[in-house]
Every structure is written in structure tokens, then in C-alpha cells.
Chains A and B, each alone.
Chain A
């Protein structure tokens, strides 16, 4: 596995195109979290993000020859993730016309944290809702997955300055949103 970890995306793409499951597995390992984050930024729902990310890997493998620059596999692949997510969202919207909130995987947290975390999730959900899709994508890749500006710029095919700008505005908006105390939120809602 160490040997595969050291390989570039282009080398893994080449091996994957010959059916090397270990190489493709390494690509999945490398991009699964980013795929989920990008899908979540579009679908805003855990289950849909999961489905879209998985579908995107299968679609990418079957269309591997269309990746003209294998060294930039990341950007090409995340475009597939984004498109799959949008298609899935479109299908969902057709199926049900109600708004889709950001949700996370069903879990069983410790009882002492239930209330606190539920509150945090709710506030985070609300905060992310006000961002644009690109801002959500950038902020999730950076703040959830830990990607660097340069990596995001490369994979999303946008200048590094634009990434910084999106991140700056996204964080500013998030700070504004997250600084609102729940009580005040409640007052606004009820008042």
C-alpha cells in the first residue's frame, strides 16, 4: 500500500485504466472525503451526498479515458461529483418539492452531548445554508477536509486568490451566523 501512496494521480489513473483494483482503491481512498464534501455542498443532505460520491467513483472509472490530463484527475473527478450531485438533487426535487436541509449521518452520540451537538449541528446547518454552493464547497474542503488553498484551486480549477476570497467571505458569513445565540434565534422565530 505504501508504494501506491507514493504514486501520483496520473500513475494511479493509468493503472486503474488497466483494471488495477489496488490503484483504483488508492484513488478512492485519496478522494472519498473530498467527494463527500463536494457532494454535501450541493445536496446538503448526508444520504444524498453519500450516494452521489459513490456514484461519481463508478462513473469516473467507466469514463477514465475521458480524463485528458490524468495529473489533474482531482479536478476532473470533483466535476463529476458535482454533476452527479446536481442530478441527484434534481431527481429529489422532482420527487418531493419540500426544501432540503443539511443533515448528517444518523449516529448514536453519548447522552451528555446530545443536546449540545444537536444545537451546534442546527446552527451550522443554518449557517451553511446562507452560503453559495461554491462557498460551501470551498469551506467544506478547507475546514472539514483540511485541503490547502493551492489544492482546492487545482482541483476546482480556479485561481488561488479566488479560493481565498470565497473562503474569506464564507467564513465571515459563518461567523456572523454562528455568533447568533440560539436563544436570540428562538426569539426571532417566535417574535
Chain B
């Protein structure tokens, strides 16, 4: 929609109303008015210009300032953990460790419990006796 309020404005249609027009005897009135408004609003316009200049790249850059150090730190921690971690035990080793824990074979206990030696099905009472001693 085209607007021409300014160019159409001026002397009123009703005789006498032009007396209320501030520019009737002061042709520069509206120019001064415009200048004052623009001067008053300049700080806000500048603030908006600065906000509008924030481009996608700038947004990514500002994000990268947080993300990159975070990712580097996370990678360093992960690398440290990987390097310091011992070789994970195999499934068989784990089973042996578990068995050793359950059934320690020390200097005075060279022989395996009977319930392990026999090929019969495990007897619950025998297992409990061997492990807990009752």
C-alpha cells in the first residue's frame, strides 16, 4: 500500500484549520521535528543494527567458543581413560577368577572339593558346606 500522507498533508480542507498546522509560518518545522526524532532514536537504531549483524557464522562461532574446549576436554579424558585402562579380561579368565574367589585353593587346600571332582549333579548342601563352611 502506497502512502503519501506527508506529501498530501499540509493546508487543511476546512478553512481555518491551517492555523493549527505548525509549519504554516515555519517551513522548516517538520524538518526539525524529523531531526529531533531521529536524533532521539539513534541509540536504539544503532542497538538494533548491532543485533541484526549477528549472522549465522557468528552464532556458530559463539557456540564454538563453548563447544570446542568442551569437546577437546572430553576427548582428552576419554583418551586418558583408554590408555590407563588395563587389558580387559577374557571371558574364560573371568570365570577362573570367579571360581578362585568362590573356592580358594590355598596351601592347605590343594584338593578340590568332592562335589567338584565328582561328575554327578551339584548337591546344594555340598556346595554350601564347601563355600560357607556349614
A33 touches B38 (CB 8 A): no
For the complex, is B21 an interface residue (Cβ under 8 Å from A)? yes
With both chains docked as a complex, state the minimum distance between the C-beta of A152 and any C-beta of chain B, in angstroms: 11
With both chains docked as a complex, state the minimum distance between the C-beta of A54 and any C-beta of chain B, in angstroms: 5
Known A-B contacts A46-B22, A61-B41, A147-B5; the reply to A174 vs B14 at CB < 8 A is yes
For the complex, is A176 an interface residue (Cβ under 8 Å from B)? no
Give how many A residues have a beta carbon under 8 Å from the other chain's beta carbons.
53
With both chains docked as a complex, state the minimum distance between the C-beta of A126 and any C-beta of chain B, in angstroms: 12
Compute how far the CA of A57 lies from the CA of B19 in the bound complex, rounded to whole angstroms.
24
B49 touches A18 (CB 8 A): yes
Known A-B contacts A58-B44, A61-B41; the reply to A33 vs B20 at CB < 8 A is no
For the complex, is A21 an interface residue (Cβ under 8 Å from B)? yes
Residues of A contacting B24 in the complex (Cβ-Cβ under 8 angstroms):
107
With both chains docked as a complex, state the minimum distance between the C-beta of A168 and any C-beta of chain B, in angstroms: 13
Residues of A contacting B36 in the complex (Cβ-Cβ under 8 angstroms):
54
For the complex, is A82 an interface residue (Cβ under 8 Å from B)? no
For the complex, is B60 an interface residue (Cβ under 8 Å from A)? no
**Interchain Cβ contacts under 8 Å between A and B, 12 examples:** A5-B3, A18-B48, A29-B6, A32-B33, A34-B5, A36-B22, A61-B45, A105-B25, A107-B26, A124-B20, A140-B17, A144-B14
